[in-house]
Chains A and B, each alone.
Chain A
Amino acid sequence: GIQVEQSPPDLILQEGANSTLRCNFSDSVNNLQWFHQNPWGQLINLFYIPSGTKQNGRLSATTVATERYSLLYISSSQTTDSGVYFCAVDSGGYQKVTFGTGTKLQVIP
């Protein structure tokens, strides 16, 4: 099956700093989503981005499908950004997604 690797696995940021999270996938995908899992376990949709670039406030994402990677940018990080960020891809249709390995982000004041 498809492999989805995220980097870095762990990241500690000072509040106000910027960061880039990467998601590499081993095969072509039909769609790609980015999620934030907060410390209570709730998964929050950030972006649906099979290709191209999208922005939402301090967050933006870019997917280059032909090169099989996606990037999530977080600018001016806040402590509430802490948690685990997952990308998830659908490669086989039927909306069945494979989650990446995750990046655990900790933003310190």
Chain B
Amino acid sequence: GAVVSQHPSWVICKSGTSVKIECRSLDFQATTMFWYRQFPKQSLMLMATSNEGSKATYEQGVEKDKFLINHASLTLSTLTVTSAHPEDSSFYICSASLVAVEETQYFGPGTRLLVL
């Protein structure tokens, strides 16, 4: 149980295009999902907290107009990188919280974004 999926796993796009990444909790409902970013050989940095039916809460320094987050249902959150640039290239990981089980977060497999 407690499986989180992400799609796509890999994406390569041209500079200036927008990219949407989906995060789904497959076998549980998640009222809260989180989006992280990880640069090579670095730790994970929280970008935003996504709550179903409400606006996302962004961490300091994260541009909300650049990284659009939508949490339309209890099993799906999406991250859209708008007008992507090479510096947006990174590994994006989502997680979903299963509060009933010790407030544990379960992580998706991640999406590698390369902007050319």
- Residues of A at the B interface (CB closer than 8 Å) are 30-31, 33, 35, 40-43, 45, 48, 86, 88, 90, 94-102
- Residues of B at the A interface (CB closer than 8 Å) are 32, 34, 36, 38, 43-46, 49, 91, 93, 95, 97, 99, 102-107, 109-110, 112
Nearest 6 interchain pairs by C-beta: A43-B107, A41-B110, A99-B44, A48-B102, A99-B43, A95-B97
Min CB distance, A25 to chain B, in Å?
A: 13
Contacts of B110 in A (CB 8 A): 41-42
- Residue pairs across A and B with Cβ atoms less than 8 A apart, 9 shown, are A30-B103, A33-B105, A41-B38, A43-B44, A45-B107, A94-B32, A95-B105, A96-B46, A97-B46
Inter-chain contact B99/A98, CB cutoff 8 Å: no
**5 further interface pairs, Cβ-Cβ under 8 Å (given A86-B44, A94-B49):** A41-B93, A45-B105, A94-B32, A95-B32, A97-B105
